[in-house]
Structure 1
Amino acid sequence: MSDRLPPLTALRAFDAAARHMSFAKAAEELHVTPAALSFQIKSLEEHLGQPLFRRLNRAVELTEAGRILAPGAAEGFTTLQTAWAATRRFQRIGTLTLTAGPALTAKWLAPRLFEFARLHPDIELRLSASLKVIDLRRDDVDAAIRFGISDDADLASYAARPDWVTPIMTPELHERFQTPESLRDAPLIFDDSLFKVAPGCDWPSWFRAVGMSYSPATGTHFSQPDHAIDAACAGLGVALGRRPLIIKDVSEGRLVAPFKVAVQTEARFRFICLPEAKDRPQIAAFREWFFAEIEKTAHMWDDFEIIPEKELGRP
């Protein structure tokens, strides 16, 4: 038996068949005929000098040799795919593929992207609005904007300003509810996503921040923050809005944030990318623009009292 590696096509055929435990499904994945795939695996077995599969009546199963080879073959092809994807991204000097959450995309990014395009007409931005967990080394993504407590080990991570929440409502609704105490009688809106990323920033915490002991039990619940904000814009009730997600509606008068008290969370937005990619021109350009845009509106909240949620405790 030779120590020389067998042909890559034969190993790829084996890897697909071992994953699917089916020659037919493996052939379909590789866009070859089952006969061609079977030939590749047979040539691999001849190269090795022993069978890798037991051919049963309507199925196949791995032999002991096949079970030994399968994990290494899978890992090898994953490594190759990762390296190939990274090499392709390196070539795309004029393209930036970015992912950000749907709420940030709709409420903050999309209304501002014309400015980035004006400043960088040579960069083609491809934006995916998704909360999917990504692997920047494997997935076809250059950078991501994520919200939460940092868990960005082995990545280049740049944190934005601390985030916070404050009550928001339409100007018409504010005419009826002009004090924090009056919110006891207001229709409240709950953004349930806050419990996942910022559990200390809820209605009871905000009421404690203004000196009230009140835990509202009823209201309208939404699973996404932009939906809760849209409901507030429609006059459904009073919502707790996060700073970057409410700024456009507040600045354009659809909403007001009248009470000037906010609860700050330890969670925040971060711009993340691979360490070796942080200085690529298109990534550096977007990162610098992103943080500059945040600073443009930071003054809007200068008269707010911002109270860290960890100082409020629990009831």
Structure 2
Amino acid sequence: MTALVVFEAAARQQSFTRAAVELGITQAAVSRQVQALESSLGFPLFRRLHRSIELTEQGRALSGAMSEALGIVADTVRSITSMGDAAELTISATVAFSHFWLLPKVSSLRRAEPDIKLKIVTQDSSVDLRRDDIDVVIRYGDGNWPDGKAIMLFGDDLFPVCSPDYLAERGSPDCVADLARHNLIASHSMEPSWIGWEQWLKAFGHGGDPMNITLSCNFYTDALYAALRGEGIALGWHRMVDDLLERRQLVRVSVEILRPRAAYYVVIKHGTPKASVTAFLNWIRAEANATPPKPLENTLYANENAPSGEGGGVETIG
């Protein structure tokens, strides 16, 4: 069994050296274990090349079986060790989603599920549910992630916002082309589905226009706080800025709104969820349906995949 485990690591890492580091043994010990296994089976599992190794056909077959078997064992261990932690729940969300949507609603979760021991991990870096000690991840994207089951929460709309002070000082843009000449605040994300100013302007036929980006931020929260302080115009996600619009801390500055194809999803581990995860799913879906953002009037919508020509793909909704 020891030789099989060592073989699985060497096959997955495609290196005796990296397998040795992972297992905490020497490279010579890895080589001996693999050779002993090959001797026992009566055929080679690897081709020894000049500076690398390569699985034989029999080696690939055994590697796939070992990876699947060890995965089943790992899933079972996680399942039986989490039985005593059924009331614990660790949620991962981006800084923006946590700050502007999730945390303001935590008191509602507390009232609905007072026995849950909640931990919120706020980070914009990627999380892997197969590796990290996380129960639930809230993500923005297309819903296709290999590490868990994705359940759509809601889509969102994207439009320019600024502070009332900035609007009073600089005036409202006359059109999309005029908007691009204002002080624009950009934010960036590692998520490829994230929409920035270039994509937003392109949806309304101005993708090639020069933009006056006066401030760029790594975090969307920073971009919104800069807009609140009157530094310029940022892109507002409706679900994130609805309360700020309601309190008139931010105002909409154009009738144009982009509706992306991507959406927010709740992603959970594969397999049977523990009780706290099921309770959280019931709560967050009910909360999303119970508190939709306020309707936007005098609105010109465009889809994310609208043609880049002037006015292409734009649809008047309301």
The one-character-per-residue Cα deviations of 1:44-98 (angstroms, maximum 9, x if unpaired) are 3453245657899x98856856566445434443444345445545664112233
Distance, in Å, in 1 between the alignment partners of 2:276 and 2:202 is 43
Partner of 2:224: 229
The 1:52/1:239 distance shift into structure 2, 3 A limit, reads closer
Q: What count of residue pairs does the alignment treat as equivalent?
A: 300
Give the CA deviation at 1:256: 2.8
Whole-Å separation in 2 of the counterparts to 1:150 and 1:22: 34
Task: Quickly say closer, same or farther: Cα 1:163–1:306, change in 2 above 3 A.
Answer: farther
Q: Which amino acid is 1:121 matched to?
A: P
1:265 aligns with 2:260: yes
What do the CA deviations read for 1:236-268 (whole angstroms, capped 9, x no partner)?
101121012223444455423365663333322
Change (3 A) 1:178 1:286: farther
Q: TM-score, normalised by structure 2?
A: 0.71
Match of 2:95 among 92, 102, 111: 102
Q: Is the contact between residue 149 and residue 197 of structure 1 (CA under 8 Å) also seen in structure 2?
A: no
Distance 1:72 1:217, change over 3 A: same
* 2:295 counterpart of 1:298: no
- Report the alpha carbon displacement of residue 157 of structure 1 after superposing the two structures with TM: 4.3
Q: Give distance in 1, aligned partners of 2:269 and 2:48.
A: 44
Identity %: 28
Deviation at 1:170, TM superposition (A): 1.6
1:222 shift after superposition: 4.0
Asked if 2 retains the 8 angstrom alpha-carbon contact of 1:187 and 1:237, the reply is: yes
Instruction: Give the TM-score normalised by structure 1.
Output: 0.71
The separation in 2 between residues aligned to 1:162 and 1:214, in whole angstroms, is: 27
Q: Which amino acid aligns with 2:224?
A: I
- Paired residue secondary structure (2:279): helix
Pairwise CA RMSD: 4.3
More helix by share: 1
Partners in 1 of 2:231 and 2:295 — Cα distance? 28
**Structure-1 separation of matches of 2:46 and 2:153:** 53
Q: Within the alignment, does 1:281 sit opposite 2:275 as a pair?
A: yes
Q: What amino acid sits opposite 1:188 in the alignment?
A: L
Q: What stretches of structure 2 of length at least 5 have no aligned partner?
A: 311-318
Correspondence list, 1:105-184, <5 A: 105-128=98-121, 129-130=123-124, 132=126, 134=128, 136=129, 140-151=133-144, 157-181=150-174, 184=179
Which residues of structure 1 form unaligned runs of 5+? 1-7
Q: Is the 8 A contact 1:21 1:59 kept in 2?
A: no
